[in-house]
């Protein structure tokens, strides 16, 4: 396994991960809008996360297996460097 920062080139793999696990994720969290499961929306999503990352507000991570498939996401948000705290959210593939 390897953990890396999400990159624009991960768009197809991220879309596949989100779509393949849609029903699984929705058992625990509210559904994303159907438009989210389109490549253009995924590109915008990644762009937004990376903008927040450049601003020091967000750390969008993906976890890949040995076959280089995304098996999880980890998002560190609400980063407060002064207090040394942040929120952590994650999504793990059903398999």
CATH code, domain with 39: 3.40.630.30
Instruction: Give pLDDT tens digits for 41-94.
Output: 999 999 999 999 999 899 999 999 999 999 999 999 999 889 999 999 999 999
pTM value?
0.87
Number of helices followed by number of strands (H, E) in the chain: 3, 4
Domain total of the chain: 1
Q: What range does the domain containing 46 cover?
A: 2-92
Specify the residue for token string 């625990």.
Answer: 28
Query: 3-state class of 91 per DSSP?
Result: strand
Q: How confident is the model at residue 11 (pLDDT cuts 50, 70, 90)?
A: very high
Angle between helices 39-54 and 11-20 (to 10 degrees): 110
């Amino acid at each position: 396994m390897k953990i890396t920062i999400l990159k624009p080139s991960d768009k197809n793999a991220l879309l596949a991960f989100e779509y393949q696990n849609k029903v699984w994720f929705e058992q625990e969290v509210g559904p994303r809008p159907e438009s989210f499961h389109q490549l253009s929306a995924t590109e915008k999503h990644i762009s937004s996360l990376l903008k927040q990352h450049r601003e020091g507000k967000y750390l969008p991570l993906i976890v890949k297996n040995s076959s280089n498939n995304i098996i999880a996401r980890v998002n560190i948000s609400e980063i407060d460097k002064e207090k040394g705290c942040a929120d952590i959210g994650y999504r793990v593939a059903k398999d």
